[in-house]
């Protein structure tokens, strides 16, 4: 996507830097304007964290990183931009002034998103040259990892513009959530504000320390919320009778005088000092950078588990993998060749690395399995073939690990067909480093053609054999690999 899509980031703080990282790592070119002389250093620090964490969530190679440029004016930043993201301080008059400058120089088709956590789009659009170009796109920190975006339109935003904004955000792995009505602080911050107010009272009244409150969240309901949110959590709490039972049983408690949500404690110097001292005692042994990395590593771990279960944020990540995979070349059309068939190109992803910094063992099997899938796709044993009741089953695999590779290494795999008949495919795979063609692993595999309904071996369809046999015939004169047959029963 580099050179095709350009994002302009206006305001390079924590949120602006996170937006820059999200766009960059998804292949967009990014220009940044921030008058802070430290902005470039701060954004590069955010990028260090983003580069070590976001790719760990992907099981498909991400796009080539875009180009990052720091500029001296809003004009330079927004020229030719597809998307402009405003992340300046929360002062309405200041934001409106920034929007005027953006609209004076940005393309008319550019979408201008605001990271505001509190203002409505109608607030931001007051006095704008083109009110319909401005929309609220409120993210969550870190933007490069947390996918949800509160997308809040006003009546001035066209349906087409909102749909285009949704599509662009989705294309970089985000989950835009369209807020149904304009309301101060949108959805999430209203919920967070309620918890924050109650937490301040608990500290002020000496009921709990900052660490104890955080422990209640991170060892308790926070773990539930991370995967099921609020309502789904309470649905389970209702037991087999479900949500109606939960509300009828616990609903009356809502009228009890437990909380102080409508009453805010005065932030006196004494209370501020108390909170600050407790926070220092809780986390002061870590630098902000260390805390960010701890946070990011934990988020990646949570989200990988959700990904394995195809649930919540993990389901979104799986969908994004499919988007990325759809943009990459496949081996559907493989022509007979007197050399082993090159079937799959990939690179060692951060999520493939073990504690030694090398590609972990089960990822070799994953790559060879994907190579086998590519071979089956090439001979027509695809999803439609399976749906019609026929498939190939792997009955034996032997992998030899020859050399180590590290993250980012470009690889490709090849297949040499040793022997085929109507029921079997005996194949030898090699995994190469793309730069020098050296072999780092091999796999020998026996595939058996099966009638799925009968769960028995059967001859492959003629259409499959018509593609498979010429590939095998072209390999007849290739030297048999030294280790072939020793581990799958055919010497």
Q: Which fold has domain 188-266?
A: 1.10.1040
CATH code for residues 6-178? 3.40.50.720
Q: What is the pLDDT of residue 250?
A: 74
**C-alpha distances out from residue 388 to 391, 451, 468, Å:** 9, 10, 19
> Contact at 8 Å (CB) between 171 and 25?
no
Is the pTM above the cut of 0.95?
A: no
pLDDT of residue 2: 40
Domain ranges of the chain: 6-178, 188-266, 329-473
Contact 23, 31 (CB under 8 A): no
User: In the prediction, which pLDDT does 334 show?
Assistant: 81
Helix, strand, coil fractions of the chain, as percent rounded to 5: 45, 20, 35
pLDDT of 487 reads: 59
CA atoms within 13 A of residue 433's CA, in its CB half-sphere: 14
Per-residue model confidence (pLDDT) at position 284: 87
- Specify the CATH number of the domain 329-473: 3.10.129.10
Report how far residue 35's alpha carbon sits from residue 16's, in angstroms, rounded to the nearest whole number. Answer: 13
Answer yes or no: are the C-beta atoms of 100 and 125 closer than 8 Å.
Answer: no
- For residue 18, the SS3 value is helix
Integer Rg of the chain from CA: 28
Nearest to 65 by CA among 41, 83, 47: 47
* Cβ proximity of 443 and 487 under 8 Å: no
pLDDT in tens, the chain (491 residues): 344 799 999 999 999 999 999 999 999 999 999 999 999 999 999 999 999 999 999 888 889 999 999 999 999 999 999 999 999 999 999 999 999 999 999 999 999 999 999 999 999 999 999 999 999 999 999 999 999 999 999 999 999 999 999 999 999 999 999 999 999 999 999 999 999 999 999 999 999 999 999 999 999 999 889 888 888 888 888 888 888 888 888 777 767 766 666 777 888 899 889 988 998 898 889 888 888 998 998 899 899 999 999 998 999 999 999 998 888 766 556 888 999 999 988 889 888 988 888 999 999 999 999 999 999 999 999 999 999 999 999 999 999 999 999 988 999 999 999 999 999 999 999 999 999 999 999 999 999 999 999 999 999 999 999 999 999 999 999 999 987 876 555 55
């Amino acid at each position: 996507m580099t050179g095709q899509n350009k994002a302009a980031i206006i305001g390079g703080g924590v949120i602006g830097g996170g937006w820059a990282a999200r766009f960059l790592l998804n292949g967009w070119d990014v220009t940044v304007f921030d008058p802070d002389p430290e902005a470039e250093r701060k954004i590069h620090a955010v990028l260090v964290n983003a580069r070590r964490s976001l790719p760990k969530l992907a099981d498909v190679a991400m796009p080539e990183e875009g180009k990052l440029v720091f500029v001296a004016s809003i004009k330079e930043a927004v020229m030719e931009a597809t998307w402009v993201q405003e992340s300046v301080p929360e002062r309405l008059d200041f934001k409106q002034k920034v929007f005027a400058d953006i609209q004076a120089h940005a393309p008319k088709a550019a979408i201008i998103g605001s990271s505001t956590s509190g203002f409505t789009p109608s607030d931001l659009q007051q006095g704008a040259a083109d009110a319909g170009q401005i929309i609220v796109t409120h993210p969550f920190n870190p933007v490069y990892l947390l996918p949800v975006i509160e997308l809040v339109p006003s009546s001035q935003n066209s349906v087409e513009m909102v749909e285009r904004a949704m599509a662009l955000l989705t294309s970089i792995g985000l989950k835009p959530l369209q807020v149904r009505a304009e309301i101060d602080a949108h959805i999430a911050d209203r919920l967070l504000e309620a918890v924050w107010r109650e937490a301040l009272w608990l500290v002020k009244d000496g009921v709990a320390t900052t660490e104890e409150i955080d422990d209640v969240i991170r060892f308790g309901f926070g773990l539930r919320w991370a995967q099921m949110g609020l309502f789904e959590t309470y649905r389970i709490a209702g037991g087999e009778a479900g949500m109606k039972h939960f509300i009828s049983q616990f609903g009356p408690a809502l009228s009890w005088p437990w909380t102080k949500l409508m009453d805010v404690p005065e932030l006196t110097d004494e209370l501020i000092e108390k909170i600050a001292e407790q926070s220092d005692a809780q986390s002061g042994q870590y630098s902000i950078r260390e805390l960010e990395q701890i946070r990011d590593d934990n988020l990646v771990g949570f989200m990988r588990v959700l990904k394995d279960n195809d649930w919540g944020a993990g389901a979104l990540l799986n969908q994004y993998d499919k988007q990325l995979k759809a943009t990459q070349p496949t081996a559907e059309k493989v022509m007979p060749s007197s050399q082993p068939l090159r079937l799959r190109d990939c690179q060692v992803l951060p999520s493939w690395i073990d504690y030694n910094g090398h590609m972990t063992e089960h990822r070799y099997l994953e790559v060879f399995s994907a190579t086998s899938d590519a071979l089956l796709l090439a001979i027509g044993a695809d999803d439609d073939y399976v749906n019609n009741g026929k498939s190939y089953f792997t009955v034996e695999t032997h992998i030899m690990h020859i050399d180590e590779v590290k993250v980012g290494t470009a690889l490709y795999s090849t297949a040499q067909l040793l022997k085929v008949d109507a029921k079997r495919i005996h194949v030898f795979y090699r995994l190469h480093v793309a730069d020098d063609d050296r072999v780092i692993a091999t796999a020998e595999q026996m595939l058996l053609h099966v009638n799925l309904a009968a769960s028995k071996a059967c001859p492959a369809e003629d259409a499959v054999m018509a593609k498979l046999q010429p590939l095998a015939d072209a390999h007849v004169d290739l030297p048999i690999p030294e280790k072939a047959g020793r581990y799958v029963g055919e010497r």
